[in-house]
Amino acid sequence: MTEHLPLHPPARRVLSVTVERFPINGSFTIARGSRTEAVVVVAHLAENGVAGRGECVPYARYGESIDSVVAAIGAARAAVEAGASRQQLLALLPAGAARNAVDCALWDLEAKLTGAPAHVLAGLDRIRPATTAFTISLGAAEVMAAGAAAAIEAGRPVLKIKLGAPEGDAARIRAVRNAAPEATLLVDANEGWRLADLPRLFDACAGADVALIEQPLPAAEDAALAGLARPVPLCADESVHTREGLAALRDRYDAVNIKLDKAGGLTEALAMAREAGDMGFGLMVGCMVGTSLAMAPAMLLTPRARFVDLDGPLLLAHDREHGLVYDGAVVWPPERALWG
């Protein structure tokens, strides 16, 4: 279902917003709760008969709501309609979902106005298909194991397992590994563990040959990771949003998860990827649960990424028109009819 918000008076460049809802296939559960619907905000930019789009997913963990994101986009409307560039947008809006939607719409609009694909505008020769992780929601160990086995049967060899209930997480890790003995396993605790849990759960991850542990501690507590023995590489998610947060993480994490909704758009995300790589961090490109319109710009980050987690559309009951093509775990670059 699409809710059309009031349009503004015509201008050479016109910015409008829609709120769209997509049912999730079943439910999506992490340490912070469950949901059965993805609610996204889409920025539309029209100029000279050409339209660009960008999708974002407001995230309550970062103090965002549908209303606050729509209001933030509205506050920047005059400057954007007057011709603000992507670089100027970095100063107009803070990092977050609202800036992401507008930034990606600006990329899409420029690509369509100039005829140059977005990846070319970003200085990339081409975007190749990438293998994405597939997310297994937090649940009972036997349910997660069944989900893992089904994912492997569907040709998805990289599994991201949601954890964050420490008393049962070691059993969940073992159950998933037994159900998917050859899979590459990524673990995401979503800030759900505590310092006292780490030795036991790190050992469980190492014993199951987990490739990466994402955000084991709450972001406000991760200074405790400095100097801590890490038998499995650690990846920051909630602890890092933009380039400004990278330097403080050097002694805590081995990798960073770059998401457009955190970074506030592709412009910042590309710069962040370069800087993180220069600092020696491994890279994951991640996503919120959204449609292919949200995943498409993130595909420009995949050439630099060690791990790709762009499975949002696979978790939905249905995607939007002209969605990304997924062949098992392989996601193909977007058609121009979708974005860029």
Domain assignment of residue 339, yes or no? no
Residue type, 42: V
Q: Cβ distance 224 to 201 under 8 Å?
A: no
What 3-state class would DSSP assign to 178?
helix
Residues 79 and 162 in one domain: no
d(CA 233, CA 94): 30
Residues 233 and 207 in one domain: yes
Residues 73 and 195 in one domain: no
Number of domains in the chain: 2
Domain assignment of residue 146, yes or no? yes
For 47-105, the pLDDT digits (tens) are 999 999 999 999 999 999 999 999 999 999 999 999 999 999 999 999 999 999 999 99
Residues 75 and 110 in one domain: yes
Task: With cut-offs at 50, 70 and 90, classify the pLDDT of residue 30.
Answer: confident
What 3-state class would DSSP assign to 241?
coil
Which residues on adjacent β-strands are paired with residue 316?
Answer: 24
Residues 163 and 100 in one domain: no
Residues 185 and 247 in one domain: yes
Residues 144 and 73 in one domain: no
Tokens of 253: 């994490």
Domain assignment of residue 109, yes or no? yes
d(CA 206, CA 213): 10
- Percentage of the chain beyond pLDDT 90 is 92
Single residue among 116, 148, 178 that ends a domain in this structure: 116
Domain assignment of residue 336, yes or no? no
Nearest CA to 188 out of 244, 136, 114 is that of 136
Q: Are strands 255-258 and 330-331 parallel, antiparallel or unpaired?
A: unpaired
Residue range(s) defining the domain that contains residue 112: 14-116
pTM, two decimals, is: 0.93
Least reliable range by pLDDT among 21-35, 70-84, 152-166 = 21-35
Domain assignment of residue 123, yes or no? no
Give how far Cα 310 sits from Cα of 133, 290, 296, 300, Å.
7, 9, 9, 12
237 is known to lie in a ligand binding site: yes
d(CA 97, CA 177): 34
Q: Phi-psi region for residue 101, left (φ > 0), alpha (ψ -120 to 50) or beta?
A: alpha
Residues 104 and 163 in one domain: no
Tokens of 215: 């955000």
> What does residue 24 show for φ and ψ, rounded to 5 degrees?
-85, 145
For 94-145, the pLDDT digits (tens) are 999 999 999 999 999 999 999 999 999 999 999 999 999 999 999 999 999 9
CA angle 206, 207, 208 (to 5 degrees): 90
162 is catalytic: yes
132 DSSP 8-state letter: B
Single residue among 65, 81, 116 that ends a domain in this structure: 116
Which residues on adjacent β-strands are paired with residue 38?
Answer: 22
214 is known to lie in a ligand binding site: yes
Residues 283 and 325 in one domain: yes
Residues 112 and 134 in one domain: no
How deeply is 114 buried, as exposed, middle or buried, from its count of CB atoms within 10 A (0-12, 13-18, 19+)?
exposed
67 is known to lie in a ligand binding site: no
- 112, 160, 162, 262: the active-site residue: 162
User: So what's the pLDDT on residue 26?
Assistant: 82
- 112, 160, 259, 262: the active-site residue: 259
Single residue among 116, 151, 172 that ends a domain in this structure: 116
269 pLDDT more than 50: yes
Residues 194 and 257 in one domain: yes
Domain assignment of residue 8, yes or no? no
Domain assignment of residue 87, yes or no? yes
